[in-house]
């Protein structure tokens, strides 16, 4: 289990690095667009590229966030619950999180297949939508694997 968690940690870090690179690219894009607007020559398609990049920034970092335990937790009643119930709630939470991520990945792959079949492209630059949708599906599937590993780790320790 430790080896799987270590391997997943490296994969999550790689996803986060891709998200960081996308964020840097978006920053440069925004800077170029703002400077261009100041001189009356905005960057063509900047908004569209920013929207596509934002998908990578947000969902690329999710797996690392989950791996490092950075989720928001509301534990108003945790101190009043017995340990066995706390452990059960933690396992349920990890299971539901995995189900959510895998469902989102499945739905996104379905959407990407439709986009690919119909040849859907962005309005301004004509970028195909399917590659971005497949990337999003991969990122959330990786996050789902992380949630499953967390679930298995909790079951093993309890």
Q: What is the percentage of the chain residues whose pLDDT exceeds 70?
A: 99
What pLDDT does residue 41 have?
A: 95
pLDDT for 105 equals 98
Main-chain dihedrals φ then ψ at residue 134, nearest 5 degrees = -65, -40
Q: What pLDDT is stored for residue 158 in this prediction?
A: 63
The mean-pLDDT minimum among 5-14, 64-73, 105-114 falls in 64-73
Alpha carbon distance 144, 83 (integer Å): 26
Question: Bridge-partner residues for 78, per DSSP?
Answer: none
């Amino acid at each position: 289990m430790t080896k799987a968690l270590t391997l997943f940690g490296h994969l999550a870090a790689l996803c986060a690095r891709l998200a960081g690179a996308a964020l840097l690219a978006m920053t440069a894009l925004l800077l170029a667009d703002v400077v261009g607007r100041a001189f009356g020559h905005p960057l063509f398609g900047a908004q569209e590229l920013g929207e596509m990049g934002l998908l990578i920034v947000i969902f690329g970092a999710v797996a690392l966030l989950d791996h490092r335990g950075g989720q928001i937790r509301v534990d108003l009643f945790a101190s009043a619950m017995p340990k066995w119930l706390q452990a059960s709630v933690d396992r349920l939470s990890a299971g539901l999180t995995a189900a959510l991520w895998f469902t989102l990945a499945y739905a996104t792959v379905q959407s990407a297949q439709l986009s690919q079949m119909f040849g859907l492209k962005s309005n301004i630059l004509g970028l195909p939508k399917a590659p971005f949708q497949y990337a999003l599906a991969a990122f959330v599937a990786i996050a789902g694997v992380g949630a499953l590993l967390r679930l298995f780790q909790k079951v093993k320790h309890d």
